[in-house]
Structure 1
Amino acid sequence: MFAPTHSAYLLVSHGSRDPRPQQAMNSLADLFRQCLGSRNHVWRSPFSAAADQVGVMTATLELGPLPLAQQIVQAGEQAAQQGYRQLQVVPLFLLPGTHVMDDIPQEVAIAQTRLGSSIQVVLTPHLGAHPGMVRCVRSRLARFPQAAWILLAHGSRRSGANAPIETLATQVGAIAAYWMTPPQLEAQVQRLIEAGHSRLGVVPYFLFEGTTTDAIADKVQALAQHYPTLALHLAAPLGPDPDLADLLMDLALVPA
């Protein structure tokens, strides 16, 4: 396991033109920083502006002011100046799609080459790989009992990338649907209606509210109007909360 000593952290999300995901990521970064600061064994840089500051920064893969590799370089340079020896890059992604398996590792490799030996850049597992995601999803299902649930994820066309979603859906007693790939939401709603269910719940397997979750809400409303006798409940996306911050703590302490 990695020792957390002398590590700074860079949380990487997809990026969006909608300001809400970045605001939510900043909130999650604050929660993560609080978790790190509460651990007595976490090292705090003597060069930080505040005595209790722990190095947690954020970046985006797309739609950022700079390419991700350059954002990592800037974070690494800042961390090295503050006395950190290691920068852990934590992907805030739920699926092992192309971004997680190809794009981010490539950007990390470019950044490490540019940074040289000034600081070690370590890529942790992505957030969706943590087994604790089962607990996070179950907590949302428990708020609306006696429903058949659909776990609605973004979906990936990469071979095998949706398999963890199918597994997660089975573990929480739901069926999977995808926003971008089949089977999509409407088909799975129809499947459950044909199976005799009259109370359905949809839990968006997305980290933060944004344009996609808005579109999901519109779709669920349209389905409710199309099936007026169906009780259709839409849960909130995961959002920044202490449970997710705890999962990030685990990811920051295990090797990639």
Structure 2
Amino acid sequence: MTTTYLLVGHGSRGPNGNVDTERFAQLWRQRHPERRIALCYIEYAETLLAAGLDQAAEGAQKVVLLPVILNTAGHVKQDLPQAVAAAKARHPAVEFVITPALGMGAAMFAVLQEALRGLQQELAQPDPQTTGVILLGRGSSDAGANGELAKMARWLFEANDHQLVDLAFTGVTWPRLETVVQRQVRLGMMQIAIVPAYLFSGVLIERIAAQVARLRAQYPQIHFVLSAPLGFAPGIFALLDQRAAQADAQAPGAPEIDAPAQLCGGHSHHSHHSHEHHHHHHSHASSACAHHHSHSHS
């Protein structure tokens, strides 16, 4: 059976915005030279969904859509199924399978954790109790998508010793980065590590860099560090491999693949820390979907 694996990027307004996505697709092709891999975008690009699906269906019996997108919001919930329904009508002999967006599960948590670890190294391993963390998302009108990112912030808090792990958004919803920084500075943070939950560079990543430059000037006593977009992390390629393998294993005519049951954790850690200077006791334990976080103040 000839299968086309169709990577679906979001698309970026900036002139160089889609360069990273194209590089990502090229790297994934190098990992799988035996596969027929194509790329299209939802918006702001030459090859959009309809044309991408038509090209992928040409000479194929099966087309596997792999959204290279973090959030399961409007584009993934509506645009992809609508485009595939139309493509099925145009190519009735071809089987189309939509895999879930990369999502906010255990695999993405591991990628975020690695980014945070890198920022701590960049800061020369300061006391996490005085190092604020800000997880910075795109922001969506879909409350569920924002909630998934909030879950990642919570998992980062549970898995580390940072006093503050906060969530901020670049648009659509609140709070914004400046507001959260102001709060963390007021609460005594000496360093602030900012982790953008973005895959690739583009207009918004450039805007974030400009905001951080302004914040550095505004708060010269605070050491700010900003991580790069996450798209080229090994964990992203591994997650895409997993999605493709699930689609390969799916029987023809089976219902669409649901996101794997990793949304309730999947990461397990057990650590015990005592911070006497804060009279603060943290105990973290997580197994399967049970999270326990207790504080006792002496």
* Displacement after TM superposition at 1:130 (Å): 4.6
Superposed counterparts of 1:2-21, under 5 Å: 6-21=2-17
Structure 1 portions without partners, runs of 5+: 38-52
Superposed counterparts of 1:77-156, under 5 Å: 77=58, 81=59, 84-117=60-93, 119-145=94-120, 146=128, 147-156=131-140
Q: Is the 8 A contact 2:138 2:169 kept in 1?
A: yes
* Displacement after TM superposition at 1:150 (Å): 0.5
Could you tell me how far apart the structure 2 residues matched to 1:109 and 1:95 are? 21
Aligned length: 231
Aligned equivalent of 1:238: 230
Aligned equivalent of 1:162: 146
Using structure 1 for the length normalisation, give the TM-score: 0.84
2:35 is paired with a residue of what secondary structure?
A: coil
Q: Is the 8 A contact 2:40 2:48 kept in 1?
A: no
Could you tell me how far apart the structure 1 residues matched to 2:15 and 2:37 are? 20
* Displacement after TM superposition at 1:213 (Å): 0.3
* Displacement after TM superposition at 1:61 (Å): 0.4
Amino acid of the structure 2 residue aligned with 1:226: Q
Aligned equivalent of 1:23: 19
Could you tell me how far apart the structure 2 residues matched to 1:125 and 1:105 are? 11
Q: Is the 8 A contact 1:153 1:178 kept in 2?
A: yes
* Displacement after TM superposition at 1:218 (Å): 0.3
Aligned equivalent of 1:50: none
Higher relative contact order (CA 8 A, sep 6+): 1
* Displacement after TM superposition at 1:239 (Å): 3.1
Q: Which of 168, 176, 181 is the equivalent residue of 2:167?
A: 176
Deviations 1:172-222 (A, max 9, x none): 223211111101111111121122111001111111111110000000111
Could you tell me how far apart the structure 2 residues matched to 1:23 and 1:67 are? 15
Q: Is the 8 A contact 1:36 1:249 kept in 2?
A: no
| Higher percent of residues as strand | 2
Structure 2 portions without partners, runs of 5+: 121-127, 158-164, 247-256, 259-298
2:200 pairs with 1:204: no
Could you tell me how far apart the structure 2 residues matched to 1:151 and 1:159 are? 16
1:197 is paired with a residue of what secondary structure?
A: coil
Identity of aligned residues (%): 32
Aligned equivalent of 1:190: 182
Aligned equivalent of 2:252: none
Q: Is the 8 A contact 2:111 2:233 kept in 1?
A: no
Using structure 2 for the length normalisation, give the TM-score: 0.73
* Displacement after TM superposition at 1:240 (Å): 2.3
